[in-house]
């Protein structure tokens, strides 16, 4: 008799949900984990991404402890950080945030780090860190203003969404594209599959 596997995604990000669905994985539950995302003093962007993904997974797991149906679930969490050198860019919440981020990224390279954390039904914690290098073209002020007017930047790390209008800013991208969107698919699916989650169980019903 097969054991019914359940997957909890510790994020309310529509982009992460869509990416999992792209890979044929439908979370049984979406459980956003609200954690303090303030970087610690002198914290490297890589360390921040790993720490926050772990914090989110553990917080989601703790909230499931009282629920018998979801206590033995796989819990998947991720956090994405955009950085220029060691400088961590914010998740843009204001127009000034967006303008400042885009001005800093204009005509230069930056790195996108995603920490992915999986906690198995048996309590094993597994993590991956993925890094992608991205170079933007030079952005004239009128183009920055037009992008800001779109509102697409709101709540996005680094003040942009590569899967939207800002895709036209990218001169070069080295590494995982889905990482820049918010969830590196190869590493996430590999983590799940490596721990016995049947990630491909729904592929027979996939539609082109």
Q: Are 101 and 129 in contact (CB under 8 A)?
A: no
Q: Are 57 and 118 in contact (CB under 8 A)?
A: yes
Q: How far is residue 121's CA from residue 25's CA, in Å, rounded to a whole number?
A: 17
Q: How far is residue 95's CA from residue 148's CA, in Å, rounded to a whole number?
A: 7
Provide long-range contacts, Cβ within 8 A and 24+ apart, for 12-18: 13/182, 13/183, 15/161, 15/163, 15/181, 15/182, 15/183, 16/78, 16/182, 16/183
Q: Are 31 and 13 in contact (CB under 8 A)?
A: no
Q: Which of 34, 36, 79, 96 is catalytic?
A: 79
Report which DSSP code applies to 63. Answer: H
**79 catalytic per annotation:** yes
Closest CA to 164 of 154, 172, 92, 95: 154
Cite the active site residues: 79
């Amino acid at each position: 008799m097969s054991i019914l596997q359940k997957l909890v995604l510790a994020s309310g990000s529509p982009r992460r949900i869509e990416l999992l669905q792209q890979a044929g994985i439908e979370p049984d539950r979406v459980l956003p984990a609200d954690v303090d995302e303030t970087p610690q003093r002198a914290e490297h962007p890589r360390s921040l991404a790993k720490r926050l993904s772990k914090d989110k997974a553990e917080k989601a797991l703790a909230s499931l402890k009282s629920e018998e149906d979801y206590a033995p679930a796989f819990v998947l969490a991720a956090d994405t950080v955009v950085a220029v050198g060691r400088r961590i860019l914010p998740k843009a919440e204001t127009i000034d945030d967006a303008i400042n981020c885009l001005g800093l990224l204009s005509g230069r390279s930056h790195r996108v780090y995603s920490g992915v954390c999986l906690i198995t039904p048996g309590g094993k914690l597994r993590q991956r860190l993925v890094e992608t290098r991205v170079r933007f073209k030079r952005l004239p002020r009128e183009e920055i203003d037009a992008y800001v007017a779109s509102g697409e930047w709101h709540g996005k790390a680094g003040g942009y969404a590569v899967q939207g209008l800002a895709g036209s800013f990218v001169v070069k991208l080295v590494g995982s594209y889905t990482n820049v969107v918010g969830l590196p698919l190869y590493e996430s699916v590999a983590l799940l599959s490596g721990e016995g989650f049947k990630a491909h169980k729904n592929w027979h019903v996939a539609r082109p």
